[in-house]
Chains A and B, each alone.
Chain A
Amino acid sequence: MTVVQEQERLQNSLHNEEPVREGLVLGNPSMRDVTARIASIVESKITMKYLATLAVTGGMAAWGVFALYYTFTTGIGAWGLNNPVGWGWDITNFVFWIGIGHAGTLISAILFLFHQKWRTAINRSAEAMTIFAVICALTMVLSHTGRPWLFYWLLPYPNQMQMWVNFRSPLAWDVFAVNTYFTVSALFWFVGLIPDLATLRNYVKSDLAKKIYGVLSLGWTGSTRGWHHYEIAYMILAGISTPLVLSVHSVVSFDFTVGILPGWHTTIFPPYFVAGAIFSGFAMVMTLLVITREILDLKQFITLKHFDNMNKIILATGMMVGYAYAMEMFIAWYSGSDWERWVFINRAMGDYSWAYWTMVLCNVISPQVYWFKKARRSIPLMFVISIFVNIGMWFERFTIISTTLHHDFLPASWGYYSPTWVEISILIGTFGIFLTLFLLFAKFVPVIAIAEIKSILPGSQPKHHHAEHQI
C-alpha cells in the first residue's frame, strides 16, 4: 500500500474516534507488528557496522576523557583561558549541552499536555537524548570547576568550616536546577520505559536478556489497576516537567544576567535562552532521528509528518531567537549606555564578528527555507539544516561569552581568547560520550514507545462508551 492509498484509507475510515488526519503510523500495523518491529531491534544480531561506529564514538569519548585527565592533573591552565576571558569553551559547551536536552522534555512533557499525538514516535529517543546531553553538560561544568573531586563543595552539607553554600548566587541555583533536571528527566524516562521493558521481557528469547529486562521492568504486568495509577503519574510528571524545562535554562541564563557585565545583564535572557534551547534541541533530535530512522528502518513510525511538525517548531523557535538577537541590539542602543552599545557593536563588528555572523547565518537565515512544505519534508535538506542549527547554537553561546569578556572595562587588559587542543578534545569527547550512549540506547532499549504507539493505532481506544458517563 502506498502512502497515498494509506492516506485515502484513513480518510475513509470515519468510524475512528480520533479525527482522521495524515496517518501517524503508516502501513496499518497490528499491535503484534508493532511489538515485533520495535522489540526485534533488541534481538537483532550486533553487526560489524554497529561495532565499528561504536568504536569511533567510543574512541572520541576516550580521547575526551584523556583530555579531561590531562586537565585535572595539570590544572585549568591547560585551557586557553586567561585574563580577561575566564569562561570559554567550558561554559559554552555546558550551555550548549544543557540546551540540547530541552527538546526532549518539551516533546515528552509539553506536547503531551497539549495532546500532540505525533510526539509518541519520537518522545523516547528525545528523552534519552536529554539525559545523555545533561550528562555531557554535567561533565563540562564539573571539569570547569578545576578540582572536580571537590564537587561536593557545591552542595549544602554540614562541614568543619561551618559554612554553607551561598544561596544568593545564581551558580548555586544552577547546581539545584541542573541536578533536578537530570533526576526528573531520568525518572520520567524510566517510568515511560517500564511497560516497554515488560514487553521486551516477554518478547526476547535468551534467558539472560529475559532476566535483565525482567528485573528492569519491575514486574509490570499491564494490569489496568496499574495503568490507572500509571497514567496519573505520567500526567503529573509531564505537568511538573513543563515548568521545569522553562526554568532550567532560565536559571542557566541567570548565571549571566545576574552579573553586571554589558551584554549579559539583560532581562531578555531567560526567554531567549529557553527558545534557543528548544531550537537547538529539536535540531539535535532531527540530526539523530534522520539517521536512526534510516538505519533501524523505522519509516513506518517516524514519518515525514513528524519531521514536518518538528521543522515547524524549528522555524518558530528560530524566529524567536532571531527576534532576540535583534531586540538585544535595539535595547543596547535604546539603553543609552555607552558600554552596552559598544559591546554590541563589538559583537557584530569586532574580533569575534566571524562567530556572530556564523550564528546569524545558521540560526536565523538557514531555517527560513522551512516556510516551504517541500523543504520541511526533504530529508537531505533537513539533515543539513539541523547540523547548521547545531553549529549556530554552539556559536551563539560562544559569542555571548567571549564578546562580553574579551574586551572589558579596562582597555589595557583586552585580549583575544582561543582554545587549546585540550578544550577542543573535550568538546569532541562530549560528542563521543553523547553518541556512544545514544548508540547503546538505540540497540538495547526500545527506541520507540511501544505501548504509546499501540494506544494511537486506529481502533485501539474504545468508542465513546456509556461507561464514561456512568460514574
Chain B
Amino acid sequence: MSTTPVGIIGEFTEVNATISAAEKLRDAGFRNWDIHTPYAVHGLDKAMGVKRSMLSYFSFVGLVGGLSTALGLQYWTGAIDYKLNIGGKGFFDWQFSIPIDFELSILGTALLTVAGLFHLCRLPTWYNRYQNDESFKKATDDTFVVTIDSDDDRFSADGTQDMLRKLGAANVHLVNASAE
C-alpha cells in the first residue's frame, strides 16, 4: 500500500456542529474539501461557501431549445415544407401549436436539467478516492463526513487533522491511496 495520503476524513454526527465546522473550514481558506451527508442539510452549502448553482442556466437553455424546436417544427412542416389544407384550418397558427409548444418546452427543460445536474455533479463517476474508507461509507447512512483533499494548498497531514479534531470531529484519520 502506498503511503501518500490522498486526504483526511473526519466524522460529525450532530448537524449544528457540522455547520459551525463548515464555516470555520471555509474561513480557513480550504478549497478542495467537502462534507458528505445522508440528506440535504439546509444551509450547509452556504456555510461551506459553495457558490450559486449554474443549473438553472442549463434548464433555461432546455426550455428555449424545446420551445423553439416545437415552434420551428410545426411552422416549417405545416407552412413551408408541405402545405396541407385540413378542414380549412391555417397551415400554422400559434393557437393550435400551444399544446406541443408546451410539452416540448417541458421536455427540453427536464432533459437539460438532468443533463446539467449530471454534468455539475460529475455523474456518473464510478470512482472516488475515499471509496474504500469505512467512515466515508457512513455518509449515506447517518454521519456527516468531512473530507479534505491532500491537493488543497492548505493541507498538512498533521495540522489539518488537529484542526478537524478541535472542531469536534470524531475518528479523524488520514486516508492513503488504495492499493488498487
Contact = CB atoms under 8 A, between A and B. Distances in A.
Interface of A: 30-32, 35, 156, 162-168, 170, 172-173, 176-177, 180, 183-184, 187-188, 191, 194-195, 198-199, 201-203, 214-215, 218-233, 236-237, 240, 243-244, 247, 251, 254, 450-452, 454-455, 459-463, 465, 467-468, 470-471
Contacts of B97: 167
Nearest to B124: A218
B52 to A, nearest CB: 9
B4 interface: no
A451 B99 contact: no
Given A195-B39, A240-B106, A167 B74 contact: yes
> Top 6 nearest A-B pairs by Cβ distance?
A31-B142, A218-B124, A164-B77, A173-B99, A455-B39, A233-B117
Nearest to B128: A221
B53 to A, nearest CB: 5
A471 B55 CA distance: 19
Interface stretch (B29-37, B156-164, B169-177): B29-37
Contact of B141 (A180, A199, A221, A232): A199
A198 B23 CA distance: 27
B34 A468 contact: no
B2 interface: no
Nearest to A258: B96
B121 A452 contact: no
A452 B37 CA distance: 12
A199 B38 contact: yes
Contacts of B148: none
Contacts of A203: 140-141
Contacts, number: 218
B39 A224 contact: no
Given A222-B36, A240-B110, A176 B100 contact: yes
Contacts of A243: 102, 106
B16 interface: yes
Contact of A228 (B38, B50, B123, B137): B50
A229 B103 contact: no
Given A191-B117, A199-B140, A451-B38, 5 more contacts: A164-B82, A187-B114, A201-B140, A247-B99, A451-B40
A462 B16 contact: yes
B110 to A, nearest CB: 4
B111 A187 contact: yes
A199 B137 CA distance: 9
14 contacts: A167-B100, A170-B99, A183-B111, A184-B110, A188-B110, A220-B121, A222-B145, A223-B34, A228-B45, A228-B50, A229-B121, A230-B40, A233-B55, A247-B106
Contact of B103 (A176, A220, A236): A176
Contacts of A451: 38-40
Contacts of A226: 121
Contact of A164 (B39, B78, B126): B78
Given A164-B78, A167-B100, A455 B36 contact: no
B180 interface: no
B126 to A, nearest CB: 5
Contacts of B34: 221, 223-225
Q: Which of B15, B113, B120, B137: most chain A Cβ within 10 A?
A: B113
Highest count of chain B CB atoms <10 Å: which of A188, A227, A233, A459: A233
Contact of A183 (B55, B107, B136): B107
Contacts of B102: 243, 247
A201 B132 CA distance: 12
A32 B38 CA distance: 10
A213 to B, nearest CB: 11
B140 A202 contact: yes
Contacts of B124: 215, 218-219
A222 B38 contact: yes
A436 B124 CA distance: 29
Nearest to B63: A240
B120 A229 contact: yes
Interface string B112-148: 0110111011011111101000001111111001000
A31 B141 contact: yes
B153 interface: no
A225 B45 contact: yes
Q: Which of B23, B34, B43 has the most CB of A within 10 A?
A: B43
Contacts of A199: 38, 140-141
Contacts of B59: 236
A465 B113 contact: no
Nearest to A32: B142
A221 B139 contact: yes
B166 interface: no
A467 B49 CA distance: 10
A365 to B, nearest CB: 35
A231 B43 CA distance: 12
Contact of B110 (A31, A162, A183, A224): A183
Contacts of B111: 183, 187
A224 B55 contact: no
A195 B127 CA distance: 16
Given A233-B114, A461-B15, A224 B35 contact: yes
Contacts of A463: 16
B64 to A, nearest CB: 14
Contact of B109 (A191, A194, A202, A236): A236
